Amino acid sequence: MFKDHYCWVPGFQLNDDDNFETDPSLESFNAQKRMLDLVNYITLHVEPYHRTNHVALPWGCDFAYQNAAQNYEEMEKLIDYVNTRNQVNVVFLQSTPGRYVDALKATATTFPVYYNDMYPYSDAPNEYWSGYFSSRPSGKISVKHGSAFL
């Protein structure tokens, strides 16, 4: 379950206008502040949603990786900076859903199971996606089966 949305952590959309700048000699240096913002976000907003010390942060959105090389370069700068400078025992890494699930399984933590249908759902106040897959039942069952693995 993601607190905000299935896209980026709020304020960390990677684009040409707001890159993660690690060179303190530049006027656009923002790495220290952005690192603190990200660690604070995890501490205050993400941890309550997780039962283990493994946290999946979505990093991208619909049509986000049209310049994938730039996005991955920015992510690597952020990961390297945070992993070498944070003071709160947080380690970032790029992962896959499979590696994340394997890490969760290794903790032997039990999770609640939800058996009802997951639709309709809301992703904003007074905005509902009722019937999103109603015209494509094979798509809906694929989503349900795939979600069961995650």
What is the distance between the alpha carbons of residues 10 and 12, in angstroms, rounded to a whole number?
A: 6
Range of lowest pLDDT (4-13, 35-44, 117-126, 127-136): 127-136
Q: Per DSSP, what are the bridge partners of residue 122?
A: 128
CA dist list (Å): 89 to 42, 83, 86, 93, 111: 12, 9, 7, 13, 25
DSSP 37-55: HHHHHIIIIIGGG-SSS--
Mean predicted confidence (pLDDT) in 17-41: 89
Using pLDDT thresholds of 50, 70 and 90, give the confidence band for residue 88. confident
Q: Which residue, among 97, 89, 75, 12, has the nearest Cα to 47 in the 3D structure?
A: 89
Residues 83/91, Cβ–Cβ less than 8 Å: yes
Task: Identify the pLDDT of residue 85.
Answer: 92
Q: Are residues 70 and 123 in the same domain?
A: no
Q: Are residues 78 and 147 in the same domain?
A: no
Q: Are residues 15 and 29 in the same domain?
A: yes
User: Residue 84's domain is classified under what CATH number?
Assistant: 3.20.110.10
The model's pTM is: 0.70
Question: Domains in the chain: how many in total?
Answer: 2
Let me know the angle formed at the C-alpha of 127 by 118 and 114, rounded to the nearest 5 degrees. 15
Domain coverage including residue 33: 1-109
Q: Are residues 143 and 123 in the same domain?
A: yes
Task: Identify the pLDDT of residue 23.
Answer: 92
Give the model confidence (pLDDT) of 102-143 as tens digits.
Answer: 999 999 888 887 776 555 667 778 877 766 555 667 777 788
Q: Are residues 101 and 117 in the same domain?
A: no
Portion of the chain with pLDDT greater than 90, in percent: 25
Q: Are residues 36 and 80 in the same domain?
A: yes
Q: Are residues 54 and 90 in the same domain?
A: yes
Angle between helices 68-85 and 31-41 (to 10 degrees): 80
Q: Is the pLDDT of residue 41 over 80?
A: yes
The alpha carbon of 20 is separated from its chain's Cα centroid by a whole number of angstroms, namely 17
Using pLDDT thresholds of 50, 70 and 90, give the confidence band for residue 47. low
